[in-house]
Amino acid sequence: MDLIDLRSDTVTKPTSEMLAAMAAAEVGDDVFGEDPTVKKLEETAARIMGKEACLLVTSGTMGNLVAVLTHTKKGEEVLLESESHIYYYEVGGLSALAGAMPRLVQGQRGRITPQGLADAVRPGNIHFPSPSLLCLENTHNRGGGTVSTPSEMHEVIALARQLGLRIHLDGARIFNAALAAGVRVSALAEGCDSVMFCLSKGLGAPVGSLLAGSREFINSARKWRKMVGGGMRQSGVIAAAGLVALETMTERLAEDHANAKFLAAGLANIPKLTLDADLVQTNIVVVELGQELGGADDFLTRLKAEGVLATNFGPHSVRFVTHKDVNRQGVDYALQVIARMVR
Ligand SMILES: *Cc1c(COP(=O)(O)O)cnc(C)c1O
């Protein structure tokens, strides 16, 4: 039997329509600005995000790094949530490569509130680095796939503006967020100077993320992308799959959300596991393991032996992510395995 791989939505394989589009893509050298398929993807994505321009990057990590490089100067302070992806999972690139000084904001399940931001920003003083950028994340991965609504975002953005900050949105899963909030992605990107989103997660494309913003921002970001080695040549091959992802894969995310809710409801009924199924909003389910189950690594090893994969999300917590390549039957199988294991 195939493994039920719930480690991440990044494990999704390209669809046959994507593979056909990749094979047929019209390409050129994109560093010379000559790849028509990349141009089409960048224009399409900019329109969807409600921004002037867009840039194809190799990964979400590169998109976030290029955004920080473009928005900030060395030594400036970047405010971001204490468990944000940029801070937690991107190898410290914002410090190591962009020379930025992170200052952490305490969020509520990853969501930054105006109060949290106000508490984190210090008044101007000769001792302090100058704050210049606020990074938001929607959906918030470590928060458990939590969604910020446009009005929640706008309250924080309004305060950030008063404080003179620029705003970058890590929207790796912005289509999941928009679907759950019942709004267009452009409503979530509104007010942000830049937004990054991934084609290679729930949308199923093999490679690629996009960074959107003003034309001036993207012109500058294009040079930073070149500097960090992200200038690609016949990248229309990748972009072709990205276009299919945007056309065909955004609405079906509802299925992933329904499967996550089903999984969460099932897990909540299993003794020794703790989670609030009502808090599951998108395709991420995080569960706390009772002490008697041993640690997360041990639990995951036993789960793998039964053909189910998930990820370590802390010493006693495990993350499951639903996606197009695991159907309801697969999720149900995972639930049965876990119920048996825990008993
Ligand atoms: C996955 C992810 C990224 C990074 O994307 P990669 O393509 O894996 O580099 C950034 N932010 C969030 C919130 C993510 O979940």
For residue 8, tell me if it sits in a domain: no
201 C-alpha to center of ligand 1: Å?
Answer: 8
257, 198: one domain: no
Q: What is the CATH number of the domain that holds 309?
A: 3.90.1150.10
Distance of alpha carbon 18 from alpha carbon 219, whole angstroms: 28
CB 49 within 8 A of CB 188: no
CB distance 172 to ligand 1 below 6 Å = yes
pLDDT by 10s per residue, the chain, length 343: 689 999 999 999 999 999 999 999 999 999 999 999 999 999 999 999 999 999 999 999 999 999 999 999 999 999 999 999 999 999 999 999 999 999 999 999 999 999 999 999 999 999 999 999 999 999 999 999 999 999 999 999 999 999 999 999 999 999 999 999 999 999 999 999 999 999 999 999 999 999 999 999 999 999 999 999 999 999 999 999 999 999 999 999 999 999 999 999 999 999 999 999 999 999 999 999 999 999 999 999 999 999 999 999 999 999 999 999 999 999 999 999 999 998 8
Residue 139 CA: nearest ligand 1 atom is: 13
Pairing of strands 4-5, 194-198: unpaired
Q: Same domain, yes or no, for 295 and 242? A: no
The alpha carbon of residue 252 and the mean position of all alpha carbons in its chain are separated, in whole angstroms, by 17
How much is the pLDDT for 1? 61
* Last-in-domain residue among 248, 277, 296: 248
Is the pTM of the predicted complex or chain greater than 0.85? yes
Please work out, in degrees rounded to the nearest 5, the angle formed at the alpha carbon of residue 70 by the alpha carbons of 69 and 75: 50
Which CATH number goes with the domain that contains 222?
A: 3.40.640.10
Atom 8 in ligand 1: which residue has the minimum CA distance? Answer: 60
Give the range of the structural domain holding residue 61, as residue numbers without chain letter: 14-248
Residues 6+ apart with CB under 8 A from 47: none
Same domain, residue pair 298 and 154:
no
Per DSSP, the residues of 271-340 read: TTEE--GGG--SSEEEEEEPGGG--HHHHHHHHHHTTEE-EEEETTEEEEE--TTS-HHHHHHHHHHHHH
Identify whether 168 is part of a domain: yes
Q: What's the sign of the alpha-carbon dihedral 28, 34, 40, 43? A: positive
Ligand 1 near 85 CB (within 6 A): yes
- Does residue 148 have its Cβ closer than 6 Å to ligand 1? no
Of all protein residues, whose CA lies closest to atom 10 belonging to ligand 1?
60
Residue at which a domain ends, from 228, 248, 268: 248
